[in-house]
C-alpha cells in the first residue's frame, strides 16, 4: 500500500511585479501552478494507491477564477487517471463563516476525488486503507476533533490527514493568525501514517508522521528547503521525498557595514552580487549596521541595479542610529508591495474588487522604491 502525500500548494498566490513572459500573469502565481502540475505528474507516474493533499490547496478562501480553473483541470487529470485522491481544506481555504460556502464543493462530483471540508473526522475507505480526514476547524478546535480519530479495525491500514501545527519536543507552526495547534500526544500512534499539512518544511515529526512541506517557497524563511511530495510505503514505513523543480531563492550573506563608508558598501554589494548566480532567482541582500554618515550618501538605486538580473531583488538596509542602537528595517525594498498584495488577496472582498485594488495600489509602491 503506497501513498503520495503533498500539501500547501497555495494556488493563486502572487508576489512581486514580474510577469510570466509566456502566460502574461504574475510570475510567482505561474510558479505555484507549475509546481502543482509537477505534483500531479508525479502522482500519474507513480500510480500510488491514494494521493493525499493535506490542506491549503488554494492560497485564499475566495481564489480568483484562474486559480479555480487551473486546480479543477489538474484534479480532473487525477480523476481520469483513476487515482483515489483525498483533499482536506486548510486554514487558508476555510471560510471564517460557514455560510460563505467552501470552494471545495466544486470537486465533489468527480469520480475518485474525495473532498473533505466540513468540521470533524471524515472516513474515506480505499481498498484496505481507511483515511481519517480532519480538515481545518476553529469550532470545534482541532485539538478536540483529532481525539475522535481512532484507527478502524475494518481495514488493514489506517492513515490520518491533518492540517495543523504540532506541539511536542519541537514546535511545528507558521505563526499565522488562523492556525490551529495540536499536541503531539493527542495524535494516536496506532496510525500507519500521519500526513500533515501547514508547516512548510519537509519534516519527520515522529516515526510514520510527516509534514510534506509546501510545494514552493513563500518567503526567505524557506531558503534552502527542498520542496516535493512524500511517497510512503505503509507496509515498510519507508518515506521518500520526491523533489519538485522550484524557483531558486538566494539569501546573500549580509554585509556588516559598521566600519564601511557608503562607497565601500556599494563596492561590497557589487562584489557579492556579481559573484553570485542570481539570474531569474528571488534574491535578498541585507546591509547591517549602516552608520549615519554612510546612510545619508548611500546610492540605493545603484545597489538595486546590481540585482537587476534577479527575477526579484529585495534590498534591506538596517541603519545604526548611534553606538549600540539600531533602527532596523529602514529600507525593505520589494517587500511592501508584496505585503500589500498578500493583504488584499487574502481579504474577503469580491475577486474583481481585489484585482482593482492591487492594480491601483502597486504603482505607488513602485514610485516609492524609485
Q: What is the pLDDT of residues 57-111, one digit of tens each?
A: 999 989 999 999 999 999 999 999 999 999 999 998 787 666 567 899 999 999 9
DSSP state for residue 11 in the 8-state scheme: B
pLDDT of 100: 61
pLDDT of 314: 96
Using CA atoms, how far apart are residues 194 and 209, in angstroms rounded to an integer? 5
Q: Can the peptide bond before residue 140 be classed as cis, meaning omega within 30 degrees of 0?
A: yes
Using CA atoms, how far apart are residues 272 and 261, in angstroms rounded to an integer? 17
Residue 359, SS3? helix
CB-CB neighbours of 271 under 10 Å: 12
* Alpha carbon distance, N-terminus to C-terminus of the chain: 57
pLDDT of 368: 46
pLDDT of 352: 57
Residues in contact with 118: Cβ distance below 8 Å, sequence separation at least 6, in sequence order? 135
Asked whether the beta carbons of 283 and 310 are under 8 A apart, the reply is: yes
Rounded to 5°, angle at Cα 22 from 20 and 24: 55
Q: What is the torsional sign of CA 105, 109, 114, 118? A: positive
Chain centre distance of CA 287: 27
pLDDT of 269: 97
Low-confidence ranges of the chain (pLDDT < 50): 328, 330-331, 333-335, 366-370
HSE-up (13 A, CA, CB side) for residue 244: 31
Residue 189, SS3? coil
Using CA atoms, how far apart are residues 159 and 167, in angstroms rounded to an integer? 20
Rounded to 5°, angle at Cα 75 from 31 and 160: 95
pLDDT of 101: 74
Residue 216, SS3? coil
Helices (H), the chain: 27-46, 65-80, 142-145, 262-274, 292-297, 300-306, 335-345, 351-369
DSSP state for residue 162 in the 8-state scheme: E
Using CA atoms, how far apart are residues 287 and 173, in angstroms rounded to an integer? 29
Using CA atoms, how far apart are residues 143 and 348, in angstroms rounded to an integer? 27
pLDDT of 176: 83
Amino acid at each position: 500500500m503506497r501513498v503520495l502525500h503533498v500539501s500547501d500548494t497555495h494556488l493563486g498566490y502572487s508576489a512581486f511585479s514580474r510577469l510570466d513572459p509566456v502566460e502574461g500573469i504574475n510570475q510567482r502565481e505561474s510558479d505555484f501552478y507549475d509546481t502543482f502540475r509537477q505534483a500531479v505528474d508525479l502522482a500519474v507516474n507513480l500510480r500510488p494507491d491514494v494521493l493525499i493533499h493535506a490542506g491549503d490547496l488554494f492560497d485564499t478562501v475566495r481564489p480568483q477564477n484562474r486559480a479555480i480553473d487551473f486546480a479543477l483541470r489538474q484534479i480532473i487529470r487525477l480523476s481520469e487517471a483513476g487515482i483515489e485522491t483525498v483533499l482536506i481544506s486548510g486554514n487558508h481555504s476555510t471560510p471564517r463563516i460557514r455560510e460563505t460556502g467552501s470552494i471545495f464543493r466544486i470537486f465533489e462530483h468527480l469520480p475518485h476525488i474525495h473532498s473533505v471540508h466540513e468540521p470533524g473526522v471524515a472516513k474515506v475507505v480505499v481498498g484496505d486503507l481507511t483515511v481519517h480526514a480532519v480538515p481545518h476547524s476553529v469550532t470545534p478546535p482541532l485539538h478536540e476533533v483529532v481525539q475522535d480519530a481512532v484507527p478502524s479495525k475494518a481495514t488493514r491500514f489506517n492513515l490520518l490527514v491533518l492540517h495543523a501545527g504540532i506541539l511536542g519536543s519541537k514546535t511545528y507552526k507558521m505563526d499565522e493568525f488562523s492556525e490551529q495547534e495540536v499536541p503531539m500526544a493527542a495524535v494516536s500512534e496506532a496510525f500507519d501514517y500521519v500526513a500533515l499539512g501547514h508547516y512548510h518544511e519537509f519534516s519527520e515529526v515522529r516515526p510514520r508522521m510527516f509534514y510534506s512541506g509546501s510545494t514552493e517557497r513563500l518567503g526567505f524563511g524557506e531558503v534552502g528547503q527542498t520542496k516535493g511530495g512524500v511517497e510512503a510505503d505503509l507496509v515498510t514505513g519507508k518515506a521518500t521525498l520526491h523533489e519538485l523543480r522550484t524557483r531558486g531563492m538566494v539569501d546573500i550573506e549580509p554585509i556588516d557595514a559598521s566600519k564601511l563608508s557608503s562607497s565601500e558598501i556599494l563596492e561590497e554589494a557589487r562584489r557579492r552580487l556579481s559573484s553570485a548566480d542570481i539570474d531569474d532567482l528571488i534574491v535578498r541582500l541585507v546591509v547591517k549596521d549602516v552608520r549615519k554618515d554612510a546612510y545619508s550618501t548611500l546610492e540605493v538605486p545603484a545597489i538595486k541595479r546590481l540585482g537587476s538580473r534577479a527575477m526579484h531583488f529585495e534590498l534591506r538596509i538596517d541603519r545604526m542610529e548611534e553606538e549600540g542602537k539600531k533602527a532596523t528595517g529602514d529600507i525593505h525594498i520589494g517587500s511592501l508591495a508584496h505585503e500589500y498584495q498578500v493583504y488584499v488577496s487574502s481579504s474577503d472582498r469580491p475577486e474583481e474588487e481585489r484585482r482593482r485594488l492591487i492594480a491601483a495600489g502597486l504603482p505607488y509602491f513602485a514610485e516609492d522604491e524609485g
